[in-house]
């Protein structure tokens, strides 16, 4: 049987050590979604360095990029973050399987609190092989 994984590791600067501590509280105390899952079911979070303002967002074994995006948008709202932020992820598998490998990336405008562009390598490849313009 094959095991599937999604891996990522990225930093989010929340401006101050106080915001970083509050972000850890948001992470730990966020309400669960309709499936009973919280942020901790999608990724791990820690402060990058003692007294720092950067959060390290990463997976332990396999993560959920959508949960990362939800958390980053929550932090953008709570701490009035501005500018562009992004991360990339890799999809892997413990055995060779068709369509089991790939990845993607998201770019978020923190000021307007929305994804401005994203790419999935699986979708990009399918479009390109079908003769379409994957960059359209």
The share of the chain scoring above pLDDT 70, in percent, equals: 100
Q: Which residues of 74-92 are buried (b: 16+ CB within 10 A; e: fewer)?
A: bbbeebebeeebebbbebe
Place 36 in a pLDDT band, splitting at 50, 70 and 90.
confident
Residue 31 has pLDDT above 90, yes or no: no
How many Cβ atoms are within 10 Å of 58's Cβ, its own excluded?
Answer: 17
The single residue listed with the structure tokens 């958390």 is 71
- What pLDDT is attached to residue 23? 98
- What pLDDT is attached to residue 27? 96
Q: How far apart are CA 68 and CA 43, in angstroms?
A: 7
Place 98 in a pLDDT band, splitting at 50, 70 and 90.
confident
């Amino acid at each position: 049987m094959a095991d599937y994984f999604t891996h990522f590791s990225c930093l989010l600067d929340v401006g101050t050590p106080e915001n970083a501590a509050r972000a850890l509280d948001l992470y730990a105390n966020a309400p669960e979604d309709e499936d009973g899952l919280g942020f901790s079911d999608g990724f791990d979070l820690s402060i990058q360095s003692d007294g720092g303002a950067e959060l390290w967002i990463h997976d332990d074994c396999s993560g959920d990029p959508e949960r990362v995006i939800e958390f980053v948008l929550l932090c953008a709202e709570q701490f009035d973050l501005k500018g562009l932020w992004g991360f990339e992820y890799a999809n892997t598998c413990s055995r060779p399987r068709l369509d089991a490998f790939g990845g993607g990336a998201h770019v978020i405008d923190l000021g307007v609190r929305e994804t401005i562009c994203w790419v999935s390598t699986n979708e990009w490849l399918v479009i390109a092989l079908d003769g379409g313009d994957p960059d359209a």
